[in-house]
């Protein structure tokens, strides 16, 4: 009898666990490719949803290629999302000057019309990525070779190991859309590496990457909502962000009042509050059936130690700020 009860209890718990797993994980495949040169590594890892529908399968592969090509358009793999206000003026001027010529990774000349071809595409992509890393790596090693023994001892132990890893994986899926996260991890010397998280909302019917999920109007209301949930999720983290963005600490209290009291309106925010709102950017967002997730990169809101911040806002509260295109996908 006890054995029967134990088995039934196990089955019930296991069924409950399965029910709690993200729906998006139902059908998933993986492809990866790696290229190496000495201690330099470039790796692409793609976890993707597959479908019995050939057209949807084709759109999945097309959207993944578009996500990777989007990375290629940035001057580097991670700097593109960094909040400009936090950059040193000299770096910013150099970055925006006409003389600045970043290494550009060429997009693989492969027509990817099904997920079966993604492995070949990923291999070519990683090889091109490695080709960009190699010259800077060799230059760095040459520089290290000229350093004194004492200077070398002060460097991180992994100084001779360079890596750049790109991972794409599904986040959520609905009847009309799916969302993917493209993350990058890179180490090219220095005290620590760098990483980034780029969410993408994809239209299932044609593989289109929807670039903007928020309306352009009423940024004040959206930013106030971001601050509210940033504070409610982790007050200490919100205070650190405010301090980093040079915002008066009373700002957070005012923002909370806007949401807690129906009598308070955005029009009643004083000049200091509006300055506080101006200093926070609106990160890239992705959706699921209950929430909108807004992703910020390392350094975008604070120091390296603060990491990458994600703000999760209930769908019912953020709906007024979503584009008609996104609202149509959610129906």
Every domain of the chain and the residues it spans: 23-210, 219-330
Higher per-residue confidence, 323 vs 92: 323
Residue 137 has a pLDDT of 78
- Whether domain 23-210 has CATH 3.30.565.40: the reply is yes
Kindly state the average pLDDT of the residues 225-244.
Answer: 84
The torsion region of residue 310 among left (phi > 0), alpha (psi -120 to 50) and beta comes to beta
Residue 55 has a pLDDT of 82
- What is the torsional sign of CA 264, 267, 272, 273? positive
pLDDT of 14 over the 70 cut:
no
pLDDT of 275 over the 60 cut:
yes
Higher per-residue confidence, 178 vs 51: 178
pLDDT of 223 over the 70 cut:
yes
From CA 212, how far away is CA 222, in angstroms rounded? 14
Query: What CATH architecture does domain 219-330 belong to?
Result: Alpha-Beta Complex (3.90)
DSSP sequence for 112-156:
--SGGGHHHHHHHHHHHHHHHHHHHHHHHHHHHHTS-HHHHHTS-
**Using 50, 70 and 90 to split pLDDT, how confident is the model at 76?**
very low
Smallest CA-to-CA distance from 288 within 2, 24, 3, 36 is with 24
Give the chain's mean pLDDT: 75
Tens of pLDDT along 127-169? 888 877 787 777 777 776 777 777 666 665 555 678 889 999 9
Tens of pLDDT along 202-221? 998 888 889 899 998 888 88
**What counts of helices (H) and strands (E) characterise the chain?**
11, 9
């Amino acid at each position: 009898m006890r054995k029967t009860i134990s088995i039934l209890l196990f089955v019930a718990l296991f069924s409950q666990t399965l029910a709690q797993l993200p729906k998006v994980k139902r059908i998933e495949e993986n492809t990866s490719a790696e290229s190496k040169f000495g201690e330099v590594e470039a790796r692409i890892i793609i976890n993707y949803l597959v479908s019995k529908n050939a057209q949807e399968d084709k759109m999945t592969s097309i959207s993944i290629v578009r996500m990777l090509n989007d990375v290629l358009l940035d001057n580097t793999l991670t700097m593109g999302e960094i909040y400009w206000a936090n950059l040193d003026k000299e770096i910013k001027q150099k970055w925006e000057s006409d003389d600045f010529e970043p290494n550009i990774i060429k997009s693989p000349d492969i027509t990817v019309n099904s997920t079966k071809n993604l492995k070949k595409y990923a291999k070519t992509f990683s090889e091109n990525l490695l080709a960009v890393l190699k010259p800077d790596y060799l230059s760095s090693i040459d520089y290290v070779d000229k350093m004194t023994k004492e200077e070398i001892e002060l460097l991180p132990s992994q100084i001779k190991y360079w890596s750049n890893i790109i991972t794409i994986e599904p986040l959520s899926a609905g009847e009309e859309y799916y969302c993917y996260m493209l993350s990058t991890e890179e180490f090219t010397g220095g005290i620590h590496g760098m990483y980034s998280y780029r969410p993408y909302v994809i239209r299932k019917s044609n593989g289109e990457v929807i670039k903007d999920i928020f309306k352009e109007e009423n940024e004040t209301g959206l930013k106030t909502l971001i601050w509210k949930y940033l504070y409610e999720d982790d007050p200490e983290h919100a205070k650190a962000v405010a301090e980093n963005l040079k915002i008066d600490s009373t700002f957070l209290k005012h923002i909370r009042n806007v949401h807690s009291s129906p009598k308070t309106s955005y029009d009643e925010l004083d000049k200091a509050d509006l300055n506080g709102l101006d200093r926070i950017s609106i990160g890239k967002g992705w959706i699921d059936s209950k929430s909108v997730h807004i992703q910020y990169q390392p350094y975008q809101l604070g120091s390296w130690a603060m990491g990458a911040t994600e703000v999760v806002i209930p769908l019912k509260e953020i709906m007024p700020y979503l584009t008609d295109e996104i609202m149509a996908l959610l129906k």
